[in-house]
Amino acid sequence: MLYRSVVKPIAFRMDPERAHHLFIGGLGVSRSVPGAVPMFRTMYGVPSHPALKTELWGIRFPNPIGLAAGLDKNGEAVTAFSACGFGFMEVGTVTPKPQQGNDLPRLFRLPPDEALINRMGFNNEGAASMAERLKKLYPNYRIPVAVNIGKNKVTPNEQAEEDYRLCIQQLYPYASFLVVNISSPNTPGLRSLQHGEELNRLLQAVTAEVELQRAKLSEAKARPILVKIAPDLTEDELRQTVEVIQSNPGIAGIIATNTTLSRDGLTHPNKEQAGGLSGRPLTKRSTEIIRQTYALTKGKLPIIGCGGIFSAEDAYEKIRAGASLIEIYTALIYKGPDINKELASGLVRLLERDGFTHISQAVGADHHD
């Protein structure tokens, strides 16, 4: 309740991006403050429950609730977020070279819609900086830490695979798994990489580089690669995208979805702002993409569900539609880190209601009823 009664009212009176930097910076510094991280664990940690423990790709997740990419772009606050009840988290999106991103202002709240619009444009300190941070923590992560990778704005699509390769070369040793971001609406032309031969060429390059890094580290098995897709794909586009992903055996899963360009049903004046929309308005669309993706893959390619999860019911709907894990972002901004306990206890209750003893039994259940 501390967040909702004290932190949020102050933060929501500030410029959104300034509040974001103060929040992440504060969490980053907390790692070196005696007692701070144990305090987070006491306040926000999620009690272990056997029904929620999940294993995918040989990785153990204490619960299925993850932090989506975009909040901790530079891997500054891994220790703090790991103490706040998450079962895993993504850092990034990171690009090979540092970049400032798009012009300010570029982050907007829509409180009555419980939404955010951002056009950040992959602002980050670059892959080398993130690697230095993660190197200090690896392999002692308390939860799996995925690295979300992208291309620099100035890199033409014809050379995009080189940027993804460069990120993998520097960050593979510290990633529990990798996420290929080809679906942000804020880097010009990026979403065209979701289609056809461009996607196929990119995924072949990514899987080849991962194999090189696996061999370099003498690992028996390569770390998983996931692809993050947009919610704005048509049925035909989604089918083609999934076909290409499935044709590349090195790809281990899909994250559905990124932010949307849709503005349907919004009421706040900031709806006129350009950028990707996240939060409550994305709930139904992201679930539908999960449902379609699960059907197209016949449940053979694990899905991480992301988009508009504000309650245990939202999360459970995505799980029943086909998601094995879920991620939050905007709900954390609006509801605070207490949400993880709320989601976890609610999921246990919903599993028991439906007669399931483990969350894996609920994955894709809507397709089997």
Q: Which residues does the annotation mark as catalytic?
A: 184
- Who contacts 98 (Cβ-Cβ below 8 Å, separation ≥6)? 124, 125, 126, 129
d(Cα 273, Cα 292) in Å, to the nearest integer? 29
d(Cα 165, Cα 353) in Å, to the nearest integer? 46
Kindly tell me the burial class for residue 103, based on how many C-beta atoms sit within 10 Å of its own C-beta (0-12, 13-18, 19 or more).
Answer: exposed
Residue pair 256/284 in contact (Cβ under 8 Å)? The answer is no
* Amino acid letter, residue 366: D
Residue that has been written with the tokens 């890199």 in this structure = 155
How many CB atoms sit inside 10 A of residue 130's CB?
27
Q: What distances in angstroms separate CA 366 from CA 229, 304, 320, one per listed residue? A: 22, 16, 5
